[in-house]
Amino acid sequence: MNADTANWRRDFWRDRKVFVTGGSGLVGGWLIRRLLEAEADVVCLVRDWVPQSELIQSRLIDKVTVVRGELNDQALLERAIGEHEISTVMHLAAQTIVGIANRNPISTFETNIGGTWKLLEACRRSPKVGQIIVASSDKAYGEAATLPYSEETPLAGRHPYDVSKSCSDLIAQTYAVTYKLPVVITRCGNFYGGGDLNWNRIIPGTIRSIVRDQRPVIRSDGSFVRDYFYVEDGAAAYMFLAEQLARRPELAGEAYNLSTEIQMSVVEIVNRVLQVMGSSLTPDILGQASHEIPHQYLSARKAREQLGWEPLFTLEEGLRRTIEWYLNYLQPTVATARLPWSAGPVAKSA
The residue from 161, 175, 228, 329 that is catalytic is 161
Residue 149 to residue 154: CA distance in whole angstroms? 9
Neighbour tally for 241: CB within 10 Å? 23
Distance of CA 86 to the CA centre of its chain: 21
Contact indicator for 67, 44 with CB cutoff of 8 Å = yes
Q: Is 45 exposed, middle or buried (0-12, 13-18, 19+ CB in 10 A)?
A: buried
Q: Is 245 exposed, middle or buried (0-12, 13-18, 19+ CB in 10 A)?
A: buried
Helix (H) or strand (E) holding 17: strand 17-21
Contact indicator for 109, 165 with CB cutoff of 8 Å = no
The stretches of the chain forming alpha helices (DSSP H) are 10-13, 26-37, 54-57, 74-83, 98-103, 105-109, 115-124, 160-178, 202-211, 231-247, 266-276, 301-307, 315-330, 335-338
Active site residue 161: yes
Q: CA distances (Å), 209 to each of 91, 273, 282, in order?
A: 32, 11, 11
Residue 276 to residue 316: CA distance in whole angstroms? 8
Catalytic residues: 161
